[in-house]
A = this chain, B = another copy of it.
Amino acid sequence: MQPADNASLITPFYVMELLARAKALENQGRDIVHMEIGEPDFSAPEAVVEAGVRAMRAGQVKYTAAAGLPELRSALARYYGEHYGVDLPERRIFIAPGASGALLLALAASLNAGDEVLLADPGYPCYRNFVRLFGAEPVSVATRASDGHRLGWPQLRAAWSGRTAGAIVASPANPTGVVLDEPTLGELCEGVAGQGGFLVSDEIYHGLEYGPRCPTALQFGSQAFVINSFSKYFCMTGWRLGWLVAPDSHVETVERLAQNLFISAPTHSQYAAVAALADPQARAELEQRRLEFQRRRDYLQQALARLGFGLSAPPEGAFYVYADCSRFTQDSDAFARDLLEQAGVAITPGRDFGETAASRHVRFAYTTSLERLEEGVKRMERYLAGVSRDSAAPGF
């Protein structure tokens, strides 16, 4: 009895090993600064928690409709109207167990075996694994530091082949924090639609943007799949709640998939999410947190540049800095392991995000307090002084 071929192609998160080692060191009494975690350090706002508590105590934890709680779907439709000026019919909105669930629905509804799907490299590692699961083939489109790691239509068009079925893009992007502006995203949507391909626009980091507001693919027609979640901006990771906006051509298919794959998303989380969208105090709290993330970003990108990391462009969203570490190492994996052992700072090596220049990049997450970031930077400074001194030494 052998594991399935497609499942065998799925790569693990390499950072998990490093996480396990960090935990082992902590158990030995070491203090570790965590800059590897893709999860907000904040909890959901109180009004959100209390809405969840009310639902639980009232026994409102039955299955919902597969597409989600009607009040949540209409709250999201209103949100798209207010936030983006987009008129979105509720029938196109599907509540899912996390953005992961939303991505599963979008790809299950779109992919045939043998299809090619274009993806940014570096990019979120799960994309390519989801694609493989359906017997389709992820095709990496390398983005370049010199373009600020932007993936636009020109790059996609150049990679588009007769087997290409569609593309997945993210803005703000993980790991780079890059945001696609209106002209770039608009041209990309139009280009993909012109090829008759599908476009998945991953907007999970929307709201965590530090420059102009991120546009949604829904502003440029109704053909894209949009995935999003309450995990990042709304700080509701473990609540496992996301959503998919599907084009009308796929609504009926997605409905059947959702019925079969999930039955429904967590119910108390759905009631809590209604409060996350509607409660004015929760919204004010979330805005304060966005400003706090911005302060951390401002600090971290300057500090990293000062230490000698290469930063192609200021990250405009999400909570990551993707940095070139080639001044210190040509092996970012070994560098991250050593940084953990020697300095007690945990970061993510580039390998988890693709192959292009992965060995020369690492990702820093600013999902910990400014004080802890400062501590991390201080430790790295000491560590790097040692590395520069020893850089000719064998074994590194």
Contacts and interface: CB of A to CB of B under 8 A. Distances in A.
Interface string A91-133: 0000001101100100011111100000000000110011001
Contact of A16 (B52, B247, B259): B259
Given A57-B49, A63-B237, A256 B12 contact: yes
A135 B110 CA distance: 14
Contacts of A63: 39, 237-238
Contacts of A110: 1, 3-4, 7
Contact of A112 (B6, B238, B239): B6
Interface string A244-287: 00010110010111011111111111000000000000000000
A89 interface: no
Nearest to A40: B62
B112 A256 contact: no
A196 interface: yes
A197 B265 contact: no
A328 to B, nearest CB: 29
Interface in A1-51: 1-8, 10-13, 16, 39, 43-44, 49
A313 interface: no
A207 to B, nearest CB: 18
B61 A249 contact: no
A59 interface: yes
A198 interface: yes
A312 interface: no
Contacts of A256: 7, 10-12, 129
Contacts of A98: 262-263
Contact of A240 (B5, B11, B264): B264
B126 A260 contact: yes
Nearest to A111: B4
A64 interface: yes
Given A4-B108, A198-B1, A39 B62 contact: yes
B16 A43 contact: no
A237 B66 CA distance: 13
B61 A268 contact: no
Contacts of A250: 1, 3
Contact of A3 (B43, B223, B253, B267): B253
A136 to B, nearest CB: 9
A97 B223 contact: no
B239 A7 contact: no
Contacts of A43: 59, 61
Interface of A: 1-8, 10-13, 16, 39, 43-44, 49, 52-53, 56-57, 59-64, 97-98, 100-101, 104, 108-113, 125-126, 129-130, 133-135, 196-198, 223, 236-240, 247, 249-250, 253, 255-257, 259-269
19 contacts: A3-B250, A4-B134, A5-B112, A7-B110, A10-B256, A11-B256, A12-B255, A52-B268, A53-B53, A53-B56, A64-B238, A98-B262, A100-B260, A133-B257, A135-B135, A238-B266, A239-B267, A239-B268, A240-B262
8 closest A-B pairs (Cβ-Cβ)? A238-B267, A43-B59, A61-B238, A3-B253, A129-B260, A240-B266, A266-B266, A126-B260
Given A4-B109, A97-B97, A237-B263, 16 more contacts: A1-B198, A1-B223, A3-B109, A6-B112, A7-B253, A7-B256, A10-B253, A13-B259, A49-B56, A60-B238, A97-B101, A97-B266, A98-B263, A129-B260, A134-B134, A239-B266
